[in-house]
Amino acid sequence: MPRSQPPLISPSILSADFSALGQAVKDIDIAGADMIHIDVMDGHYVPNLTIGPMVVKALRPHTTKPFDVHLMISPVDTLIPAFIEAGADIISIHPDSGPHLHRSLQSIKSAGKKAGLVLNPGTPVDVVDPVIDLLDLILVMSVNPGFGGQSFIESQVDKIRRLRKKIDATGRDIILEVDGGVNPKTAIDCIEAGATALVAGSAVFNGSGSYAENIAAIRDANRSTTKVA
């Protein structure tokens, strides 16, 4: 069933013009983004290399919207403090990016930031169980991490549904986010399955309309799934 509230939209600057990232962040802020999604890749945990804490720090003055930072790095623990200092508001990590997941999440929470856990397409849902009390966000990767512009993996919709049940059972307001191949069409399945936040890169920055129109098209997928009684 669709959620009563529209999903949060977190455009991924991985698909933006890297020669003008500051302006891109300003533009998507004005266009209606709820968060700014920042993909950090180390060329080790994933086969790509993107940005580091200095770039995040440089982007911070360009918006007051939350920085939704996805760390695709290993080992992750040594760099968490640097991204906190750079201005990250939400830091999401992978369960296999360090030796002690619980400790890593604790370090994020102890700094007053929101902690997220990322599930790759091959990561089982039950990995969240031992640490769900520490989580503010669960991110379902609907593509394999490392590159933008990939196609949505349909099997991840069931994972979203199963995580929705786990979150609801806690009674806590944990954001359920989806990243990978999200566009106005795939957003419908994500929202129906229980997602409350959607990351979109190509669909926002390379879509057919303006940034505002592209963001609205994804967010309004929620309305298209709502049936009038």
136 is catalytic: no
- Cα separation, 146 vs 188, in Å, equals 24
Q: Each residue of 83-107: pLDDT tens digit?
A: 999 999 999 999 999 999 999 999 9
Residue 1 lies in a domain: no
Task: Give the tokens for residue 144.
Answer: 């394999």
CA-nearest of 31, 65, 13 to 218 is: 31
CATH of the domain at 91: 3.20.20.70
pTM to 2 decimals?
0.94
Average pLDDT for the chain: 94
Q: What percent of the chain is predicted at pLDDT more than 90? A: 91
Residue 57 lies in a domain: yes
User: Which pLDDT value is given to residue 198?
Assistant: 98
Residue 97 lies in a domain: yes
Q: What percent of the chain is predicted at pLDDT more than 70? A: 95
Q: What residues form the annotated binding site?
A: 12, 37, 39, 70, 146-149, 179-181, 201-202
Instruction: Give the model's confidence band at 51: pLDDT under 50 very low, under 70 low, under 90 confident, else very high.
Output: very high
Q: Which of 27, 29, 39, 136 is catalytic?
A: 39
Instruction: Give the model's confidence band at 145: pLDDT under 50 very low, under 70 low, under 90 confident, else very high.
Output: confident
189 is catalytic: no
The 3-class SS string of 168-227 reads HHHCCCCEEEEECCCCCCHHHHHHHHCCCEEEECHHHHCCCCCHHHHHHHHHCHHHHCCC
User: Which pLDDT value is given to residue 3?
Assistant: 58
Count: domains in the chain: 1
Residue 130 lies in a domain: yes
Instruction: Give the model's confidence band at 228: pLDDT under 50 very low, under 70 low, under 90 confident, else very high.
Output: very low
Residues 19-42 have a mean pLDDT of: 98
Q: Which of 29, 136, 179, 189 is catalytic?
A: 179
User: Which pLDDT value is given to residue 149?
Assistant: 75
Task: Say which amino acid occupies 19.
Answer: S
- Residue 83: its H or E element: helix 80-86
Instruction: Give the model's confidence band at 156: pLDDT under 50 very low, under 70 low, under 90 confident, else very high.
Output: very high
- Cα separation, 109 vs 117, in Å, equals 12
Q: Which domain holds residue 39?
A: 8-224
88: left (phi over 0), alpha (psi -120 to 50) or beta: beta
Q: Each residue of 158-208: pLDDT tens digit?
A: 999 999 999 999 999 999 999 999 999 999 999 999 999 999 999 999 999
Q: What residues form the annotated binding site for substrate?
A: 12, 70, 146-149, 179-181, 201-202
Residue 229 lies in a domain: no
Instruction: Give the model's confidence band at 148: pLDDT under 50 very low, under 70 low, under 90 confident, else very high.
Output: confident
Q: How far is CA 24 from the centre of its chain?
A: 18
Widest CA span in the chain: 53
Query: Does 225 have pLDDT greater than 60?
Result: no
Least confident of 34-38, 127-131, 189-193, 218-222: 218-222
Residue 50 lies in a domain: yes
Name the DSSP letter for residue 121: T
